[in-house]
Structure 1
Amino acid sequence: MDERVREHAEVLVDWSARIEAGDDVVVSVAEDAHDLGVAVAEALGERGANVTTLYGSDELSRAYLKGSEARADDGTAPVFDADPVVDRAVFEAADAYLRLGGGRNTTATADVSREARRAYAKARKGVREARMDTDWVSTVHPTRSLAQQAGMAHEEYQKFVYDAVLRDWEALAEEMAQMKSLLDDGEEVRIVTERDDAPDTDVTMSIAGRTAVNSAASVAYDSHNLPSGEVFTAPYDTEGEAFFDVPMTIDATRVRNVRLVFEGGEVVDFDAETGEAALESVLDTDPGARRLGELGIGMNRGIDRFTDSILFDEKMGDTVHLAVGRAYDACLPDRESGNDSAVHVDMISDVSENSKMEVDGEVVQRNGRFRWEDGFES
């Protein structure tokens, strides 16, 4: 086995999930993530954890959803059990959940209707909430399908993944703490981009009373992705227009060059160069899908290119992202509920040129450089 796989597993178990002896851990292993699954299982055994394994297959999910569509032969969306008791019970009994992504086909569910996917997501809201109440961490094994999606040779993609994952996370956490402090102390964020070849962005949002998360790839930092390397918060009262130039996949559909217009905190107008129907489907999921749930600032400079994987792309240095839909509880005051939705969809902007981000009128990032970095221009 590639020694980097074992290192990946050790970072996941020790730094990210902070697994201890006696912990009940659910591990979901995708079709082609077998090697990482083996390394994680070995590491969990060495640490004295209890393990339950699940098969996280997009192809199985497709088969189930297609069968459900066939059952609803009148053309309506299929109806799913609104409280899948067994699935929910698994996560309610778990201390931690580790998702090891890496399937055979990154578009395995492309021919499942949006209506079926949306109905399924709504029905599994309770399962999702139970899963998110655990110390959960999501990562990926560098598979050939993901390499193909990223437009890389497999060995090239393996290096890309491990450069992003096998970081000095303590040092990066210290750097990102500076951004967290700015957001925690701030009341308003403004993001501006001005480009000749794309629509401008000029959007403001309130962050008063919110707590930013220093997402340093560890549950100890309220961070649940490996790799990570972003600072995020839960904005509200959004006004203005935002343009997202980084391509993404939504509901197995390629979406490019998204424009959102906000008034009174809601998306009131939108368009996309491609994939507009998929974007519209997300925004129509429920009322919360037209409000922001996240402002995220990418700070992992080990990620040096876009790969059409939100796990990596949103963490890349020189980017910011806004997510419509669900807000994360970690950003909210006690006993306060933030934006609620069955979806959480991130959209990313490259801010490496002709851009600035202000907190309470002070420029804290310009052209991708933070004010504490060499090359920053105030």
Structure 2
Amino acid sequence: MSYPTPDSRLAETLLSHSCALQPGENIMIQLVGLNGIGLVRALVEQVRALGANPFVRIEDTEINRSLLETGDEAFWKLQAAADQLPLMKLMDAFVGIRASENIYENSRVSPAQNKAYGEHFLKPVHFEERVNNTKWVILRYPSPAFAMNAKMPTREFAEFYYRACLLDYAKLREAMLPLEARLRKTNEIWLKGEGTDIRFSVKGQNWIPCFGERNIPDGELFSAPILDSVNGEITYAPSVYQGKPFEFVKLRVKDGLVTDFDSSDNDALQSILDTDPGARRFGEFSFGTNPVIEKPMYDILFDEKIYGSNHLTLGQDYEIASNGNDSSVHWDLVCIGADVYLDGELIRKGRLFVTEDLMGLNPEVFLGSAD
């Protein structure tokens, strides 16, 4: 008797749950980094067994870095128009596996080079076409380097990785429903914590519960603040953006616009904020609710799902929960452990929900009552 491997189980979740792939559909499987080839093999086998059509792209991170360092506006326009955009338009689904073993690979890419890539390739191919017109899912793949960022032994990290990724998402969805119902009736959100005191309106905004359909691991509930309503200050946990590490970021905001800031790398932060007008405004707000993920590990696909966290995102909004912000930046910065008030009512004290209807999202309840 053969037993399913972790990769085959993960592939099944990605195809059946995240992408709901159907016979005859086209799916792009993109592997960035040469680690993770076993998952690609499992995906291709299952896609073909289903009668669907895989289109496989395997990209080396050092080659990608070289292209970023030498690419200009004309180069990225050509790459999008001649290759990736026409192909993406043929896709019904997309699985993006991020398997780089060096999160700082692109740390020397200049702001101008990042801007050219973001505006003329990433935005048209991914933000506009893939995000809005395919059933897509993005995930990382475990490695010793990834374990090192998480400050965990390699084997222990792999076990943690699959527990976080293969969470009972149907159960998580049920636990999220009361929070979603509250948020749909909320006018104002207030976050109050150490270094954070910020308010904004979400009146009339759409809310999207995420339970393994677009990210793996998952566990977020997102919308977008009313564009000019954000006021106050917010302090974020460690983050990496465009290959550049930030040990902390603190923003001061007036009428939706970042007016002042501090961080562990103010020159790099200044460059990101100056990318375009939308980079100083916010395009997303979210609750992190994955009960397995406890602390930052310099990887936003995990960090934005940390239980007891929120992210208030600089830059581009999502069409499905729009507030009108337009930018080539989308930086999911995470604030952990702030008290959360909805229209003046405290619903989360630190990292734990305190109202009876929301306690099912607390780790000791969710994991303690697992089947």
TM (normalized to structure 1)?
Answer: 0.88
Distance 1:242 1:131 in 2: 31
The match for 2:329 is: 343
The Cα offsets for residues 38-79 of structure 1, whole Å up to 9 and x where unpaired, read as: 1111111121111100113321111212334xxxxxxxx765
Letter in 2 for 1:147: A
**Amino acid in the other structure paired with 1:341:** S
- Partners in 2 of 1:174 and 1:16 — Cα distance? 17
Selected match of 2:17 from 15, 18, 27: 15
Instruction: Output the CA distance in 2 between the equivalents of 1:252 and 1:331.
Output: 27
User: In the TM superposition, what is the alpha-carbon distance from 1:145 to its structure 2 partner?
Assistant: 2.4
Secondary structure of 1:303's aligned partner: coil
Q: Retained in 2: the 8 A contact 1:25–1:50?
A: yes
Distance 1:356 1:331 in 2: 24
Secondary structure of 2:279's counterpart equals helix
Task: Check conservation: 1:259, 1:271, Cα contact below 8 A.
Answer: yes
- SS of 1:38's equivalent? helix
How far is 1:98 from its partner?
0.6
Residue of structure 1 equivalent to 2:124 = 126
Match for 1:80 among 75, 80, 83?
A: 75
In the aligned structure 1, how far is the partner of 2:110 from the partner of 2:74? 13
Which residue of the partner structure matches residue 240 of structure 2? 249
The match for 1:315 among 305, 315, 332 is: 305
**How many angstroms apart in 2 are the aligned matches of 1:366 and 1:294?**
22
How far did residue 225 of structure 1 move? Answer: 0.6
Q: Is the Cα contact below 8 Å between 2:217 and 2:301 reproduced in 1?
A: yes
Q: How many residues align?
A: 349
- Do 1:255 and 1:276's aligned partners in 2 also have CA atoms closer than 8 Å? no
CA contact (8 A) 1:183 1:211 kept: no
Superposed structure 1 runs of 4+ greater than 4 Å apart: none
Tell whether the 8 Å contact from 2:291 to 2:361 is kept in structure 1 after alignment. no
| CA shift in 2, pair 1:328/1:78, >3 Å | closer
Partner in structure 2 of residue 226 of structure 1: 216
CA distance in 2 between partners of 1:65 and 1:214 (Å) = 34
Aligned to 2:147: 147
Contact 1:149/1:308, CA 8 A, preserved across alignment: yes
Alpha-carbon offset, residue 289 of structure 1 = 0.8
> Which region of structure 1 is more displaced relative to structure 2, 225-234 or 112-121?
112-121
Note the alpha carbon deviations across 1:310-330, whole angstroms, 9 max, x for none.
000110102111101011111
- Contact kept, 8 Å, 2:313 with 2:330, in 1: the verdict is yes
Does structure 1 residue 262 correspond to structure 2 residue 253? yes
Quote the Cα distance in structure 2 between the aligned partners of 1:56 and 1:103: 10
Deviation at 1:365, TM superposition (A): 1.1
CA distance in 1, matches of 2:120, 2:97: 23
1:331-370 residue CA offsets vs partner (Å, 9 max, x unmatched): 14xxxx621111110111220xxx4211111111112122
Separation in structure 2 between the aligned mates of residue 228 and residue 163 of structure 1, nearest angstrom: 11
Contact 2:106-2:244 at 8 Å conserved across structures: no
Aligned pairs for 1:354-373 (under 5 A) are 355-370=338-353, 371=355, 372-373=358-359
Change over 3 Å in CA distance of 1:192–1:176 after alignment to 2: same
Offset, 1:27: 0.5
Deviation at 1:102, TM superposition (A): 0.8
After TM superposition, give the deviation of residue 204 of structure 1 in Å.
0.6
Q: What is the 5 A alignment of 1:55-74?
A: 55-68=58-71
1:217-247 Cα deviation digits (max 9, x unpaired)? 11xxxxx111110111111210111111x11
The one-letter amino acid paired with 1:46 is: A
Tell me the alpha carbon deviations over residues 187-234 of structure 1, each in whole angstroms, 9 at most, x when there is no partner: 1111111x4xxxx3111111011111101111xxxxx11111011111
Are the aligned partners of 1:251 and 1:278 in contact in 2 as well (CA < 8 Å)? no
User: How much has 1:90 moved relative to structure 2?
Assistant: 0.7
Q: Distance in 1 between matches of 2:142 and 2:361?
A: 33
The answer to whether the 8 A contact 1:248-1:309 is kept is yes
Task: Among all aligned residue pairs of Structure 1 and Structure 2, give the percentage whose two residues are the same amino acid.
Answer: 30
1:41–1:51 CA contact under 8 A, matched in 2:
yes
Which 5+ residue runs of structure 1 have no aligned equivalent? 69-76, 219-223
- Shift, 1:81, TM fit: 4.1
Alpha-carbon separation, structure 2, partners of 1:312 and 1:365: 21
Structure 2 stretches lacking a partner, 5+ long: 363-371
Structure 1, 183-192 or 362-371: larger mean CA deviation: 362-371
Check the 8 A contact 1:102/1:146 in 2, yes or no: no
Question: What is the Cα deviation at residue 375 of structure 1?
Answer: 11
Residue 86 of structure 2 corresponds to residue 89 of structure 1: yes
